């Protein structure tokens, strides 16, 4: 399936909508965002399907729109931190997918780059904006340890889902991606 601007826009809208709905579903059944990372799922999956620019935009817009429309995450500072983190997730997955890197390696690399970027955003907010927050290293350690269940969900289910999507819609995902 040829990537067209219209197709990219429609799919981006779908992943943003899922990024709003999946966390709402998790919260409705008692799940917590920082543990299960439900907003991360549509952004990471979008990275496998969208071009880098659109994947980046999905990662940036999803937490911003969610914050404005639902109050989750809180706009300052979490939505801004997540905009950077998820933007890097989408961009990294999309770029690595284009290089034909294995799905698990792609996800792990994107997660590392996204968390580092989130830590950098925390440092910027603390240093330049005066936001009172945990030091960046403490934030990163806490985010990773709290999010272990969500990280495991991502590493197990996203490759399975991507494989199923490849079979159902063969040309939706680049064949370079393993």
- Phi and psi based region of residue 20 (left: phi greater than 0; alpha: psi -120 to 50; beta: remaining): alpha
Which pLDDT band holds residue 90 (cuts at 50, 70, 90)?
very high
- Least Cα distance to 140 among 163, 117, 161 occurs for 117
Average pLDDT, the chain: 92
Taking 50 as the threshold, does the pLDDT of residue 128 lie above it?
yes
Residue with tokens 């939505």: 79
Block residue for tokens 């429309």 = 69
pLDDT of 82 strictly over 90:
yes
Q: Which residues contact 36 (CB under 8 A, 6 or more apart)?
A: 26, 149, 150, 153
Query: Which pTM value belongs to this model?
Result: 0.93
pLDDT tens-digit readout, 141-150: 999 999 999 9
| Backbone phi, psi, residue 104, to 5° | -65, -45
For residue 137, pLDDT beyond 80 = yes
pLDDT of residue 177: 41
The DSSP string of 31-76 is --HHHH-TTHHHHHHHHHHS-HHHHHHHHHHHHHHHHHHH--S-II
Q: Distances from the Cα of 15 to the Cαs of 18, 150, 160, in angstroms?
A: 5, 18, 18
């Amino acid at each position: 399936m040829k990537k067209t601007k219209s197709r990219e826009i429609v799919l981006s809208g779908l992943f943003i909508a899922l990024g709003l709905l999946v966390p709402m579903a998790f919260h409705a059944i008692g799940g917590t965002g920082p543990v299960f990372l439900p907003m991360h799922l549509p952004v990471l999956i979008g990275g496998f399907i969208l071009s880098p620019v659109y994947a980046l935009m999905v990662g940036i817009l999803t937490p911003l729109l969610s914050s404005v429309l639902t109050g989750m995450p809180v706009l300052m500072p979490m939505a801004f931190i997540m905009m950077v983190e998820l933007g890097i997730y989408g961009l990294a997955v999309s770029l690595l997918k284009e290089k034909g890197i294995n799905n698990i390696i792609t996800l792990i690399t994107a997660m590392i780059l996204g968390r580092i970027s989130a830590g950098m955003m925390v440092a910027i907010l603390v240093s330049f904006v005066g936001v009172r927050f945990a030091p960046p290293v403490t934030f990163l350690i806490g985010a990773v340890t709290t999010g272990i269940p969500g990280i495991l969900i991502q590493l197990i289910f996203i490759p399975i889902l991507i494989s199923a999507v490849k079979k159902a819609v063969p040309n939706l995902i680049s064949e370079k991606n393993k």
